[in-house]
Amino acid sequence: MSATLSSVPEVGDPVAAIDTPALVIDLDAMERNLAAMAAFARERGVRLRPHAKMHKCAAIARLQRAAGAVGVCVQKTSEAEALAAAGIDDIYISNEVVDPAKLARVAALARRVRLAIAVDSAEGIERLARAMREAGAAIDVFVEVDVGHGRCGAPATAASSLAHRVVAHAPPEGGLRFAGLQAYHGAAQHLRGAEERAAASRHAASLASAARAGITAAGIACPLVTGAGTGTFAFDVASGVWGELQAGSYLFMDRDYADNAPGPNTPRFEHALFVKSQVMSRGAAHAVVDAGHKSHAIDSGLPQVWQRTLAYANGGDEHGILRPLPGGSAADLPQLGDTVWLVPGHCDPTVNLHERYVALRGGLAAGVVEAVWPIEARGCVG
């Protein structure tokens, strides 16, 4: 059992000993999700490079690699640095970096691990090339195409001129290896209807495929189209355009993703990430738990109260207010000191609030702590 002075659980502790609020992984559920996605990618003949911006944890990245992932994605230079420092050696920053000081860090990292990055402008490519030249480093480069989100990414029609510019800095003189296209439609992931997501994926596929055709017509080989998230990966794979999947949230499956209508021929993923909370106050018609939005992100809505007929209402930074769902009664409310499990609305920013995962084996009711994992890339916003 844990020393009484410490709130960090130890391996072998029973679930009851986990201090609250705590970020808890149901390991059995997570492993089923891990295996389902790995099998899906293997059977469809596509590579899996899960997004580690979701879990931010080297131990989990290692489990994904062991299950067949070729490496991981991150969005931020500091996330890449944190995971590399923890031993992850194949990382794709699936995002643009243009600041010279950050690019110097990217170049330094590229000397230590296999590194890739996305670009979407001529100026960005020149800055990246300069940083690589100064450091004597080489990096894989994906040209990002805007496939529908209207965020980063060049128009599909500009992809071949950008690819040309990358190739102009190819080794041995330069440090840029053209690796293909980044094509991720973030806004499509949470469209609720399966047909809506299918249509968005078809649109993304047509733009990615036009960009690839432009590049090959210019005489440049386009080795890979990479992208896709938990909401669209099955549609994306069916198009035959993507050769690598970047889905991340499938591993934990937050409440927001569970609100999507499931698509056909898509593995079903289970909730595997929970905030363990405790009832700290009781009223006649409500209960208050010790987990507010200091413990879970609410950008994608409030948490679901797991396996109880209760609704969670925002009680501020440190409190959540539980009330019976319509048709329920005060008899459904938990008592002072009772444990309440919450399914976060959005896993990525929830993870960012915590220092560690408590990995539980044997279920939430009577499981035992099997591991405690640091969240190395937590807080890595730059």
Ligand X SMILES: Cc1ncc(COP(=O)(O)O)c(C=O)c1O
Chain residues that interact with ligand X, rule: CB under 6 A: 51, 54, 73, 75, 94, 184, 186, 189, 229-230, 246-249
214: CB partners within 8 A, 6+ apart: 156, 157, 159, 160
CB of 242 to ligand X, least distance (A): 11
Kindly state the smallest distance separating residue 7's Cβ from ligand X, in Å: 29
Q: Name the residue among 173, 109, 177 with its Cα closest to residue 140.
A: 177
Amino acid identity, position 197: R
- Is-contact 75 95, C-beta < 8 A? yes
SS3 257: helix
Q: 230 or 304, CB closer to ligand X?
A: 230
Query: d(Cα 204, Cα 201) in Å, to the nearest integer?
Result: 5
Compare residues 229 and 324 and give the one whose CB is closer to ligand X: 229
- Judged by beta carbon, residue 56 or residue 169, the one nearer ligand X is 56
The nearer residue to ligand X, 187 or 336, going by C-beta atoms, is 187
Nearest distance, CB of residue 54 and ligand X, angstroms: 5
CB 30 within 8 A of CB 39: no
Q: How far apart are CA 31 and CA 287, in angstroms?
A: 33
Smallest separation, CB 223 to ligand X (Å): 18
* Separation CA 50–CA 83 (nearest Å): 14
CA dihedral (349, 49, 156, 220) in degrees, to 10, reads: 150
- Least distance between ligand X and beta carbon 10 (Å): 31
> Closest CB to ligand X belongs to which residue?
229
> Between 184 and 274, whose beta carbon lies closer to ligand X?
184
> Residue 344 corresponds to which tokens in the numbers above?
């976060």
Tell me if 90 sits within 8 A of 140, measured CB to CB: no
Q: What are the beta bridge partners of residue 369?
A: 360
Nearer to ligand X, 14 or 243 (CB): 243
Report CA dihedral (166, 223, 160, 92) to the nearest 10 degrees: -50
Residue nearer to ligand X on the CB measure, 247 or 305? 247
Q: How far is the CB of 118 from ligand X (least distance, A)?
A: 8
258: tokens are: 């569970």
CB of residue 68 to ligand X, shortest distance in Å:
17
Q: How far is the CB of 309 from ligand X (least distance, A)?
A: 29
Residue 37 CB coordination number (10 Å): 24
